Structure 1
Amino acid sequence: MRTSASGPVTGEGTVFARSHDMTAATPVAVVTGASGGIGAATARGLAAAGYEVVLTARREERLRELAGELTAAGHRARVHVLDVTDRAAVDALAASLDRCDVLVANAGGALGADPVATGDPAEWRRMYEVNVIGTLHTTQALLPALTASGDGTVVVISSTAGHATYEGGAGYVAAKHGAHVLAETLRLEIVGTPVRVIEIAPGMVRTEGFATTRFRGDTEKAAKVYAGVAEPLTAEDVADAVTWAVTRPSHVNVDLLVVRPRAQASNTKVHRES
């Protein structure tokens, strides 16, 4: 069991080592897209690891439900309604914080599964705005506070789509490639500063709403994504990876962690049971 200066830290049944001295002021983690799925699960994991979590997303009611759950469990959480594509709103978030130790840039999503020949440019633009420009906005706005913390961490939630393409996915793949390149380049540019840059790239994850949103509310098409796959990843699986990476000792940087279900060998090779 690893321990910190203040003892062991547990979250979701796993023991994590804290990279911060929790006897000092409580470190703060900002999680974007925290109203559900991976974002909400990550907020729970980081709260259990001793962070005060700042929950951001557009759906205020969902954020307040999660904040209530966390505070009832004895954790510290606050809500900040946010659209990451609105730079003025992101700057206001940054100005409202006394400190920031971790940014989890999770807000994103996919729209459509059309081939390049018939893809909707508006959907491509929206995906790029949220997945790439939204990550850029939050990173730029919070980087000064992350640096000032003396031990900051940026976590970019990309996707295996950011590392290999597949038919019908070009718009989303392009956006997630952008998120990957942002993380990789940022790491090069800020080396020597007290900020780590971590990229978590999940494969097939079954979360509420992701596939349904992608297929414009068509639940039948959404269900086919996971048909025959015994155990796709869950939001908690990805959150476990995020929390583990964030809580490594300060000198340890997890550059890129690709997480897939056992049934998925690649973006195009998935074992499906009849």
Structure 2
Amino acid sequence: MKKIMVDIKNHLMTGISFALPVIIAGSLMVAVAKIIGLAFGAADLNAFAEQDGLSHWLHLTQETGFKIIGLMNYVLGAYVAYSIAGKKGLAAGFTAGLIASLTGSGFLGAALGGLLAGYSSEWVSRKVQITGSAATSVPLIILPFITVGLQVLVMLLLLGDVLSWLNTSLMAWVQQMTEDGTSTVLLAVVLGGMICFDLGGPVNKAAWGTGNVLFLSGVYMPAILVNVAIIIPPLGYAAARFLRPGNFSQTLKEAGNGSVIMGILGISEGAIPFTLKNPAR
């Protein structure tokens, strides 16, 4: 059992090592666009979506950066599967990332789907043996059909509604607490815990989305709390990386460098490489 857990952790870290440059590149694009915009007195670049010139370019740069960050689930799912099964796991791994994005399960869904994709691809390649001229159909047709089908069955059909229900229920719960006059400290504890619980997953998105929806309705406190909480995990790990560099591998040192930028921008996914290293802690 211990060996299995170590193997799973290594596969997850391999996936993270591929996903990390994607997150950092996207974050840098967003940061540059926002900094230039702020230098010209523009705090919200979305206002320039329909304009021309530099302002429109800044908006497009910001949106491109966010799209690149959005590729994280795809890369994570694909390369977790790749670390287990090689090229034959990529199709199902990318499917895992797609389903994670569609269902809102975030990096947890992508990681779980990537493991399912990798192990199922390895199992199918060993168990399905066809000889003769039809042998080429195994990697091209049979294996992707089974492994992608498993992703649809398990990660979408079985878990999709559960994740959607969880997301909707959490948003309704936060809104109810705000309307009931729950104490600020208790509200901060609940929202902060939700933000940091799964680092970009459905619980995180429920708290963040609810805070910002209420902000647009003139209820400001939840938005303040979630946007303070969202920077704590990445900046905390970044601080640890610089204060105690000897405690971290080269991969996590690079992750810590990126966490500085992602923390400043309020992207909690910057804490994922450290969290996956020791999820229980």
- TM-score, L = length of structure 1: 0.28
Q: Which has the larger radius of gyration?
A: 2
Higher helix share: 2
Answer 1 or 2: higher relative contact order, Cα 8 Å, separation at least 6. Answer: 1
